[in-house]
Amino acid sequence: MTDLIRLSAADLAGAIARGEASAVEATRAHLDRIAEVDGQVAAFLHVDEAGALAAAERVDRARAAGEELGPLAGVPVAVKDVLTTRGVPTTAGSKILEGWRPPYDSTIVQRLRAAGTVIVGKTNMDEFAMGSSTEYSAYGPTRNPWDLGRIPGGSGGGSAAALAAYEAPLAIGSDTGGSIRQPGAVTGTVGAKPTYGGTSRYGLIAFSSSLDTPGPCARTVVDAALLHAVIGGHDRRDSTSIPQPVPEVVAAARRGATGDLSGVRLGLVSQFSGEGAEPGVMAAFGEALERLTKLGAEVVEVSCPHFEYALPAYYLIAPSECSSNLARFDGVRYGLRVGDDGQRSLEEVMSLTREAGFGPEVKRRIIIGTYALSSGYYDAYYGQAQKVRTLITRDFTAAFERVDVLVSPTTPFVAFPFGSRTSDPYQMYLADLFTIPTNLYGGPAISVPCGLSDGLPVGFQIMAPTMADDRMYRVAAALESAVGTLTPPAL
C-alpha cells in the first residue's frame, strides 16, 4: 500500500480490516500529509497527533485480538472545530474561546470514537460558523486546494479543504445555511446535511439552534453515507433529536452507484432557474441533469413561490437565535477575559471581553438578532420570519407530493478569490441562496460534484423530504457514477 491517503474511506477501512495496512500506518500517512501540505492549505486549527495515534493503536490491538471492527475503524476523520472534543482545544474559530479545552465530548465525537475512527484534528471555520469563505475565522482563512488564491467555502471550509487536499478521507461539518454543502461544492467534495434532528447537536457549539445540523463530508457518496450511519440516530441528550433509526443511507448510496434511476422524479425548482448564478455553474448543472435523465430519471418543473423569501427570513431567524446563544461568552466562566484589572466593573469586563473576542461578522449578527427580538420589533421581524418558514415548509411538502427529490446547483458561483466578497455582507450571503431553504424546512440535502467551470468544481444539490435522507444518497451516487470524482491539481 503506497498511497493510503488517496483511498476512499471505504477502501481504506477494507484494507485495514484485511490487514493490508494498519490503522497506525493509515494515521501516520495522513499526519505526514498534513505536515507536508497544511502550511499551504491551513485546513487545521489543531492537529492531535498523540490522540490520533493512540486511537489507531487501539484499533490495531482490537483487530489483533480478533474483535470485529466497524465499517470505518481505523479511518482518519477531521472534525470541524465547532464540536467539543474532551481535553482537545475547541474554538469555533473564535478568539473568545482560544485555549478552551472542553471537559466533555460531543455526541458526534463520542460516536466517532466508539466506531473506531481516528480523529486527527480540528478544522478551521468561519467564526461560530457564520460565513461562506472561512475568511471570518479568527485564525486566518483556509485556502482552496484547487486554487490557493481562492476560498474553500464556509463555514466548514477547513473540513472540505482537508478532504480535497487528501489530509483526511472523512470530515465532520455543520450546516446552518449551507456550511457543509457550499464548501463541498467549491472544493469538489461531497457534503451532506442530514434531516434536522437526524444527527445530534449535543456538543455542537450553537449558532442557530433551530437550523444547525451536523453532518458528514467525504470525497465519495458512499463514504459520506458510511459516516452518516456512524454519527446519526437518536440521542437522548438532544431534545430535538428524532427518535427513529437512521434511514438506510449506505444501501441507498450503493444502489444509486449502479447507475439506475428509472422511476425517480427530479423536481427542478423554477425559482432557481439560474438568475444570479454564473453561466458556467448553470451549464455544468444542466449537463448533470441530462446525465441523470439518461440514467432513467424524469425531470419535472415545480414551483416553490416562497423560496425567494428564504434568504431574508434566514437572516432574521439565525441572527436572533445567535444573539441569545452567544450571550454566554462573557469571560466569567471560560475562554477569553479582558480588562479584569480589579478596578473595572463586571459589566465593563463583559463588554471588553466581547468587544475583543468577537469578530465583525459575529458582532453584526448579534446586533441584528438583538434588534429583531426587541420588544416592539419581534412581530415584524422574528415573528414574520417564522411565518415565512412555515410557508417554505409548505412549498417543500407540496413539491414532494409531485417529485421524489428537488435539485439545483449547490451554490450560484464557483470558489471566489479572497477578499472579493468581504466588503459587502450581502454578496457573501448570496453564496447560500440555494442551500438556505432546506435549513428552514428541516429536510436533508447533499452536494455532489457535477463538473468544472473554468477549472473550478461545481456542486449539484439534491434535496429530499425529512427522514428520507436515503433518497438523496441514491441520486447523488448515481450522478457520481456518471461524472466520476474530481481530482484537484497537485499541491
Partner 1 sequence: MTITLPPYEDVTARFEPVIGLETHVELGTRTKMFCGCPTGFGAEPNTQVCPVCLGLPGSLPVANAAAIEATIRIGLALNCTIASWCRFARKNYFYPDMPKNFQTSQYDEPLCTDGYLDVEVDGRPVRIDIERVHLEEDTGKTLHVGGATGRIHGATESLVDYNRAGIPLVEIVTRPIPGTGADAPAVARAYVTELRDVIRVLGVSDVRMEQGSLRCDVNTSLNRPGDQWGTRTETKNVNSLRSVERAVRAEMLRQAAVLDAGERIVQETRHFHEETGDTRPGRSKETATDYRYFPEPDLVPLAPDPEWVARLKTELPELPRVHRARLQQAWGLSDLDMQAVLNAGAVELIERTVAAGSSPEGARKWWLGELARRANEAGVDLSTVGATPADVAELQSLVDAGRLNDKLARTVLEGVLAGEGTPSEVMAARGLEVVSDTGALGAAVDEAIAANPDVAAKIREGKVAAAGVLVGAVMKTTRGQADAKAVRELILSRLGVQ
- Contacts to partner 1 by CB under 8 A: 83-84, 90, 92, 97, 100, 102-104, 106, 201-206, 208-210, 236-240, 320-321, 323-324, 327-330, 332-334, 342, 346-347, 350, 370, 373-375, 378, 382
Q: Is 155 a catalytic residue?
A: yes
Q: Is 345 a catalytic residue?
A: no
- Collect all residues with Cβ–Cβ distance below 8 Å to 121 and sequence separation of at least 6: 34, 44, 45, 46, 47, 48, 52, 78, 79
Pick 347 or 401: Cβ nearer partner 1: 347
Pick 201 or 228: Cβ nearer partner 1: 201
For residue 13, how many other CB atoms are within 10 A of its CB? 27
Shortest distance, CB of residue 84 to partner 1, whole angstroms? 5
* CA separation for the pair 444, 181 (Å, rounded): 11
* CA separation for the pair 249, 226 (Å, rounded): 8
> Can you tell me whether residue 302 is helix, strand or coil?
strand
Distances (CA, A) of 180 to 117, 249, 281, 295, 335: 20, 17, 18, 27, 26
Give per-residue burial for 134-152: e unless 16+ CB within 10 Å, then b. Answer: bbbbbbebbbbbbbeebbb
Cα 244 from chain centre: 22
Distances (CA, A) of 57 to 62, 75, 192: 8, 12, 30
Beta bridge partners of 88: 85
Pick 52 or 97: Cβ nearer partner 1: 97
Are residues 93 and 186 in contact, defined by beta-carbon separation less than 8 angstroms? no
Shortest distance, CB of residue 200 to partner 1, whole angstroms? 9
* CA separation for the pair 94, 125 (Å, rounded): 9
Pick 359 or 488: Cβ nearer partner 1: 359
Catalytic member of 133, 159, 179, 208? 179
- The helix (run of H) or strand (run of E) holding residue 426 is helix 425-429
Pick 236 or 294: Cβ nearer partner 1: 236
Shortest distance, CB of residue 374 to partner 1, whole angstroms? 6
Shortest distance, CB of residue 350 to partner 1, whole angstroms? 6
Shortest distance, CB of residue 98 to partner 1, whole angstroms? 13
Shortest distance, CB of residue 187 to partner 1, whole angstroms? 26
Pick 240 or 390: Cβ nearer partner 1: 240
* CA separation for the pair 15, 317 (Å, rounded): 46
In DSSP notation, 99-115 reads T---SS--HHHHHHHHT
- The verdict on whether omega for the bond into residue 174 sits within 30 degrees of 0, i.e. cis, is no
Q: Is 80 a catalytic residue?
A: yes
Catalytic member of 80, 132, 137, 241? 80
Shortest distance, CB of residue 50 to partner 1, whole angstroms? 23
Beta bridge partners of 100: none
Pick 100 or 418: Cβ nearer partner 1: 100
Pick 35 or 327: Cβ nearer partner 1: 327
Q: How many CA atoms lie within 13 A of 224 on its CB side?
A: 35
Shortest distance, CB of residue 183 to partner 1, whole angstroms? 21
Shortest distance, CB of residue 391 to partner 1, whole angstroms? 18
- The helix (run of H) or strand (run of E) holding residue 432 is none
Catalytic member of 155, 174, 200, 408? 155
User: Which of 231, 239, 244 lies closest to 108 in space, CA to CA?
Assistant: 231
Pick 190 or 373: Cβ nearer partner 1: 373
> What nine digits make up the cell of 379?
412581530
Cα 290–Cα 294–Cα 295 angle in degrees, nearest 5 = 120
Catalytic residue set: 80, 155, 179
